[in-house]
Structures are given as C-alpha cells and as structure tokens.
Chains A and B, each alone.
Chain A
C-alpha cells in the first residue's frame, strides 16, 4: 500500500488555493500536513479524500484513485459536530452502515471504542443510569478529612426511580463531542486515518487517551495524515511533513532529514558564573538567560565547539552542554518566515 499525492492543484476563480502540492507515504506512519491559517490544508485534505473536485493533480492509493471505494478511510474533520436531535447510538450505527460495516460488528466496535474513549454514559442509557446511581450514592455519604465515612444517609429518603436520560448530543462538552467524532472515524477500522486538529479542545487526560490510541494505530500499521497547530504533538508522532504557506509547500520531506539538513543549532548551556563575554566573543546569539542557564542559537557544531573550547580554556565549570537540532516549531516558523512577503 502507498499513498501518492501528485501535483494537487485547486483554484477558486482567479485565486489559487492549493498550488501543486505533492507528497508520498510509501509505508505506514504519520504524515504531518502543517501550515498557517488559510494555507490550504483543509482544501488539500478535502481533495485528497475526494470531497472536492481537483483542478489538477492526482491522488492514488495502491495505484488506484483514492476514494472510499478503493480505500477504507477514517476522517476526523477540523470543525466537528453531531446531529443535535438524533441519539448517539443511532448516529454511530448510521456512520457504521455508511462505511459498509454490518450491525453486529458496528455494535461491537461502538462498545469497544466507547469504553476506550470513556464516553459510554453518553451512548448507553444503562451506563448513564449507573453513573447517576453512583453520583447519588456518593451524595449520600460524607467523609472526614482522612477519608473515613462519618455519615451515610442510606435510609434518609428513598431515591425516586428515574428513567435514565441520555444527554442530547448538542449538550455534550466540546471534548466529548470530539471523542464521539473520533469514534465515528474509527468505526470502520480504517486503513487511512486523516486527523485534522485531533487534540485541540481536549483536556490533558483526554489528550493522553487519544495519544495512546494514535500510538496503537501506528503500531497496527495504519497510514495517518495529521494536521495540527500543536507542533510538539505532531513532532511526537510524525515521520514526514509538508509545511504549506500561501497555498504552496515550502518544506516537504522526512522530518529527521529536514532537521539534519538544518544542523544542530540549539545550545542549552548551564554554568556557575556569568559567561556573557565568552558568548559575545564566540559570536553566538543569546536567546535567554536565567541564573547562569543560557539558551543560545549557534550556526552549527563548529561555533558551539568554539564556545565550549573558550570556556574550558578559562577553567569555567560546565554543568550542562546540550547541543540539539531545530524543533518542528522552529522549522515551521523559519519556513513560514522565510517565505513571508
């Protein structure tokens, strides 16, 4: 299997919104499609998935034009939503059916993913009832500061039997709606998973849950295209990137190679005295300083070694000397900055 995007091109009227974008995913992994706002990421994704007509270029999956007939696609769109009036179980089954999954398998997958993503109480009435009962029970028990039960009002009043009512989809929090959307994307166990801003709006706990799922999908040999503004998250998963700026690809390729090509330029240095004069003498750019811990920008290994040699020669004790490559964030900012007019 391989995904090939070749010379993707789109214009609205006279305005070019995607200008000959090409990339390949010859093997499973995560490909990051990054870009500034309005750079053409969403339009590119829509064309890749066959939602929008292309004015030029082609997208193939295993040599055939990519669409939902030739590839099992899962898609988490950037702008998410649910049918406000239909029950979640109906919606999930509908999406499962649309993807050609039989009812029994759909129900099994919904159950599995609901448990994994911790959204069962929004899908199943009995789970909602369990939660309600638990909350009521907790409400009847008081604890002291050491966690011991000091009052249990089990006989105080009988709990009125209430028919458990599920929250309507539009009452769900943004994070929970997002998890349900992720469940929809996963319902057909896709070969190609496209995640547009998958972690935005999630709290740290849910971010960790979703990250764990993404790691599992990578391990399972899935092809993932990820678009996000959270560079550190993308960097954690992706092997290859394309950075879009004003409808053009300004950086594209393997992330390690891109980093290697830009050299090791970030120097984190910790000493026990002021070394400002040595930094200036070596022609190194000072980014920040806090209690003799310096964040520096060097032009490469040579400049870093020159600074290190001067410090050693002056008998200055070095606590930390960490020379590292550019972060994805820096690569992105540099690429966009260089191409800014």
Chain B
C-alpha cells in the first residue's frame, strides 16, 4: 500500500517562522534598511516642509518690496488705462513721511520721488519717456492689452537700479492697480473669485449612478493618489522581500541543507514559515512607518503649527492607513497580508527552481514582472476611475490584490464586492499553496530545474 503523507501539513511552521524572523533581524542589511525606513518616515514631513518653506521664503524675499532699501531717484507711473491712479493710491510704493525722515541721506523711496504722469496723445511719447530716463530712474507703464492689462517696469540701458528692485516696484504697482480696478468695478474680491471659478456640467445620468457618485468619499484626483500610494506600498513590499525569499530558498537548495531539514519538517511548513517570517518583518516595518508618519504629522502640527490637511503630503506616506477609519485600516492591512502571501509563495516556488546564481535573477525577474503588471494596472485603474473598470479590477486577480481595498475605502464599490474579491483572492492563494505543496519538495531536491512556470507545473505532476 502506498500511503501518502499529508503534504499540506504545516507542522513545524512555527519553528521555521521563528528562525526566519530572528535571522532577518540579525541580518545587518535588513536591520539598517528597517532603521533607515522608519527614520525617513518620521522625518519626511518636517524635512519636506522645511525645504519647501526655505525655498518659498527665499522666493518671497526676492519679490518683497521694501521702499526703504530701494535706491532710485525717481519712480514714474505712466497709466493710459481708464482706471485712475493717483500718487496717494501708491502708499505701498513709498515710505511714510516719518520713515522718510528717519532715513539718512534721503535714501529709499519717499513720496516726492513718485509721480503719476498724465497720458499724452502723441506718437512715440512712451519711447521719449523711456529715452529720458536717468540711470537711477524707473518708469512703470500701465496699458490695455488684448487679454487684459499690461504693466511693465522700464529702466535705462545703463541703469544702476537692482533688477529685484525693479521687479518689486512693478509687482507693487500691479497689486495696487488690481485693488483699484476692483474698487472701480464695485465688485468684491470674493465675487471675482466666484466669477472665474467656472461651472461643472453633467449629461443626463441614471439615478443609481448618481447615488454611487454621491457616495464617493474622495475626489477622482485623491482616488488616483490613494491608488498610487497603496499599490506602491504593495509593490515595495513585494519587491523588498521577493529577492530575499528566492535567495533564501536557493541558498538552502544549493547548500543541500534542505535534505537535513526535510527529515524534520514538512515542505509546506518550511516554505510558509519562510514567507510568513519575512512578512512579519515587513508588517512591522509598515507599522513603524505608520507610527513614524504620525510622529511626523504631530511635529508638523505642534512645532510648525501646520495641520495635516494643510500639509498635503498624500501619496507614499501611509496616510491611506489612517484616513478611512478602523475598518478601512483592517481592509488595507488584510490586502497587504494576502498580497504578501501570494507573491511570497510564488517567490518561494520560483526560488526552488534555481540551481545557479543566474537563475536567481531570472526567478526574481519573473515574480517582479507579475507584480509590476499589477502595479501599473492599479495606477491605470486609479487614473481611469470608471465604475465598471473599478469593479473588474476589484475582482480580477492578481490586480485585485493591489486595487480592491482602495476601491472600497474610497466608496467606489460596496462591501459585498469587496467580500467577493477577498474570497477570490483567498481561493487563488489556496490554489498556489496546493501547487506549492505538490511542487516545492520535488523542485528543491532536483538539480535539473529552470526558473520557469512550466517547470513548476510539471513538477507538480511528478
């Protein structure tokens, strides 16, 4: 009687799991990667903010206009538009009398240095004005253009006025002119903003589609960012651990250690112990990344007084894990776990086909190919954002491993579709695990295998 043993037994899984975890954390490379990742997640917000803030401040400084620091003899405004502008309107352009008195040697721009010229109906008058400029004079021309108004700051060819100062003068005149223009139109600035904001229109839509649209909890653009962020997390998780699992399995195979191991543990337990051991490292890494991200936001809020919503760093900052409540978090983490088990098992299977170092590259490439196709498909789904595409992407493996939870938490599919998606994903994982149970032992004991899908399926029949 040929009584076969239970090839699906996971007896010994815990021992392999513990050994894998302990050796992963003893591996300096993985330890350094862990620390670096958590540090980046913790300090990403403040560093990003500070670098943005510094460059913004520098830009603002270069454009800010301080009349006390500008060295000019005369500023002339030549305004040919219907919007009337007087010297008294240009208070931002010159110092107050008190400020002017405090300035030594009559430095800076005082009121008496500013003049508004009356328009003259003469051909080439503007050219004459420009030609008559001294090397410390500035003239600002305001005139109508096809699409609105044009304001230009002009200096002589041998001007000694700083370029930044000319820019500051022109910008200041522009700001004053804008306000004056709105005042003349008798329209408030809020009204102007509303006028220019535009109106969205929709064709006739069915009631069900309308309700679905209304239930969307995030906008299309944010959906795309969430999909990008989450699929990137899954892709990173897969790519980070894929080569480790393949190398680890190949190492065991090449060293022939596997024969000693297989007299103590079932092959399925050996493979799953490795995959789950590595997964615990990644889950811990993600957990610490989320904590780091929260610390980052706390620092932003308490030190820089910038709220999370103001500091928009959505994308790869784990914000998706906390933006959709506890249930959303559970769904997302579950998908990470399922994706990891699927791709980890596939990586283990491909690892068991490797006999040479070159094989490892091929095996890694094969797994990465599947992950990459799914990743790009997820990005496409995020960008496309059509209901039918969302439903298909949520149900069709391997894409569903990357997309389903995001589509659900952003309100594009219901809980029923998500549950069906999870059932399909689990069935796929069971299928891959059954294949592993049949193939893994044969592959790992064979010296004549190549990292191809065909080899894996063939070995299952042996």
Are A and B interaction partners?
yes
Residue B1 CB within 8 A of the other chain: yes
Which chain A positions have C-beta within 8 A of B259?
A: 46, 51, 75, 77, 79
Given contacts A80-B256, A85-B27, A90-B23, contact A49 B2 (CB under 8 A): no
The total of chain A residues at the interface (CB under 8 A) is 38
Return the chain B residue nearest A87 by Cβ.
B26
Taken together as a complex, chains A and B put the C-alpha atoms of A55 and B15 apart, in Å, by: 30
* B2 in contact with A83 (CB, 8 Å): no
Which chain A positions have C-beta within 8 A of B1?
A: 58
* B441 in contact with A51 (CB, 8 Å): yes
Which chain A positions have C-beta within 8 A of B11?
A: 69
Return the chain B residue nearest A81 by Cβ.
B255
Residue B33 CB within 8 A of the other chain: no
Residue A68 CB within 8 A of the other chain: yes
* A67 in contact with B260 (CB, 8 Å): no
Which chain B positions have C-beta within 8 A of A90?
A: 19, 22-23, 26
Which chain A positions have C-beta within 8 A of B40?
A: none
* A58 in contact with B261 (CB, 8 Å): no
Residue A57 CB within 8 A of the other chain: yes
Partner of B265, one of A49, A79, A98, A184: A98
Q: What is the 8 Å Cβ interface bit string for chain A, positions 49-81, against chain B (1 contact, 0 not)?
A: 111111111100000010111000111110111
B130 to chain A, nearest CB (A): 77
Which chain A positions have C-beta within 8 A of B15?
A: 94, 97-98
Taken together as a complex, chains A and B put the C-alpha atoms of A316 and B303 apart, in Å, by: 114
Which chain B positions have C-beta within 8 A of A58?
A: 1-3
* A65 in contact with B445 (CB, 8 Å): no
Return the chain B residue nearest A181 by Cβ.
B260
Taken together as a complex, chains A and B put the C-alpha atoms of A152 and B26 apart, in Å, by: 42
* A73 in contact with B2 (CB, 8 Å): no
Partner of B260, one of A46, A50, A69, A185: A185
* B445 in contact with A99 (CB, 8 Å): no
Residue B257 CB within 8 A of the other chain: yes
* A56 in contact with B2 (CB, 8 Å): yes
* B445 in contact with A51 (CB, 8 Å): yes
* A97 in contact with B5 (CB, 8 Å): no
* B19 in contact with A94 (CB, 8 Å): yes
Q: What is the 8 Å Cβ interface bit string for chain B, positions 436-456, against chain A (1 contact, 0 not)?
A: 000001100100000000000
Q: Give chain B's interface residue range (CB within 8 Å of chain A).
A: 20 to 34
List B residues 262-277 near A (Cβ within 8 Å). Answer: 262-265
Which chain B positions have C-beta within 8 A of A69?
A: 11
Return the chain A residue nearest B446 by Cβ.
A12
Taken together as a complex, chains A and B put the C-alpha atoms of A79 and B5 apart, in Å, by: 25
Q: What is the 8 Å Cβ interface bit string for chain B, positions 216-259, against chain A (1 contact, 0 not)?
A: 00000000000000000000000000000000000110111101
Which chain B positions have C-beta within 8 A of A95?
A: 260-261, 264
A242 to chain B, nearest CB (A): 20
Which chain A positions have C-beta within 8 A of B441?
A: 51-53
List A residues 97-116 near B (Cβ within 8 Å). Answer: 97-99
* B263 in contact with A55 (CB, 8 Å): no
Residue A84 CB within 8 A of the other chain: yes
Which chain B positions have C-beta within 8 A of A97?
A: 15, 18-19
Partner of A65, one of B3, B254, B462: B3
Taken together as a complex, chains A and B put the C-alpha atoms of A79 and B446 apart, in Å, by: 13
Partner of B263, one of A49, A54, A56, A86: A49
Taken together as a complex, chains A and B put the C-alpha atoms of A171 and B1 apart, in Å, by: 46
A18 to chain B, nearest CB (A): 13
Which chain A positions have C-beta within 8 A of B262?
A: 49, 51
Given contacts A12-B462, A49-B263, A51-B441, contact A86 B23 (CB under 8 A): yes
Residue A82 CB within 8 A of the other chain: yes
Taken together as a complex, chains A and B put the C-alpha atoms of A181 and B445 apart, in Å, by: 18
Residue B12 CB within 8 A of the other chain: yes
* B255 in contact with A77 (CB, 8 Å): no
Taken together as a complex, chains A and B put the C-alpha atoms of A185 and B264 apart, in Å, by: 11
Which chain B positions have C-beta within 8 A of A53?
A: 4, 441-442, 462
Partner of A73, one of B23, B257, B263, B462: B263
Taken together as a complex, chains A and B put the C-alpha atoms of A264 and B376 apart, in Å, by: 79
Which chain B positions have C-beta within 8 A of A181?
A: 260
* Most chain A CB within a 10 A radius of its CB, from B22, B262, B441, B445: B262
Which chain A positions have C-beta within 8 A of B261?
A: 95, 98
A98 to chain B, nearest CB (A): 4
* B264 in contact with A57 (CB, 8 Å): no
B287 to chain A, nearest CB (A): 26
Taken together as a complex, chains A and B put the C-alpha atoms of A110 and B421 apart, in Å, by: 50
A282 to chain B, nearest CB (A): 52
Which chain A positions have C-beta within 8 A of B2?
A: 54-58
* B260 in contact with A65 (CB, 8 Å): no
Which chain B positions have C-beta within 8 A of A55?
A: 2
* B256 in contact with A79 (CB, 8 Å): yes
Which chain A positions have C-beta within 8 A of B254?
A: 81
Taken together as a complex, chains A and B put the C-alpha atoms of A54 and B3 apart, in Å, by: 9
A207 to chain B, nearest CB (A): 21
Partner of A81, one of B4, B26, B256: B256
Taken together as a complex, chains A and B put the C-alpha atoms of A95 and B16 apart, in Å, by: 10
Which chain A positions have C-beta within 8 A of B27?
A: 85
Given contacts A46-B445, A56-B2, A57-B2, contact A83 B251 (CB under 8 A): yes
Partner of A98, one of B264, B442, B462: B264
Which chain A positions have C-beta within 8 A of B445?
A: 46, 51-52
Return the chain B residue nearest A93 by Cβ.
B19
* B5 in contact with A77 (CB, 8 Å): no
Which chain A positions have C-beta within 8 A of B3?
A: 58, 65
* Most chain B CB within a 10 A radius of its CB, from A49, A52, A94, A184: A94
A57 to chain B, nearest CB (A): 7
Q: What is the 8 Å Cβ interface bit string for chain B, positions 335-367, against chain A (1 contact, 0 not)?
A: 000000000000000000000000000000000
Which chain B positions have C-beta within 8 A of A99?
A: 264
Which chain B positions have C-beta within 8 A of A185?
A: 260
* A77 in contact with B260 (CB, 8 Å): yes
Given contacts A46-B445, A58-B2, A83-B251, contact A51 B263 (CB under 8 A): yes
A178 to chain B, nearest CB (A): 12
Taken together as a complex, chains A and B put the C-alpha atoms of A218 and B2 apart, in Å, by: 31
Which chain B positions have C-beta within 8 A of A85?
A: 27
Partner of B255, one of A54, A57, A75, A82: A82
Closest 6 CB pairs between A and B?
Answer: A81-B255, A98-B264, A79-B256, A77-B259, A75-B263, A51-B262
22 CB contacts below 8 A, A to B, read A51-B263, A52-B445, A53-B442, A65-B3, A65-B5, A68-B265, A73-B263, A75-B259, A75-B263, A77-B259, A77-B260, A79-B256, A79-B259, A83-B251, A83-B255, A84-B251, A84-B255, A90-B26, A97-B18, A98-B15, A181-B260, A185-B260
Where the two chains meet, the residues of A that have a C-beta atom closer than 8 Å to any C-beta of B are: 12, 46, 49-58, 65, 67-69, 73-77, 79-86, 90, 94-95, 97-99, 181, 184-185
Given contacts A69-B11, A184-B260, 15 further A-B contacts (CB under 8 A): A12-B462, A51-B441, A53-B441, A55-B2, A65-B3, A65-B5, A68-B264, A81-B254, A83-B251, A84-B251, A90-B19, A97-B15, A97-B18, A98-B12, A185-B260
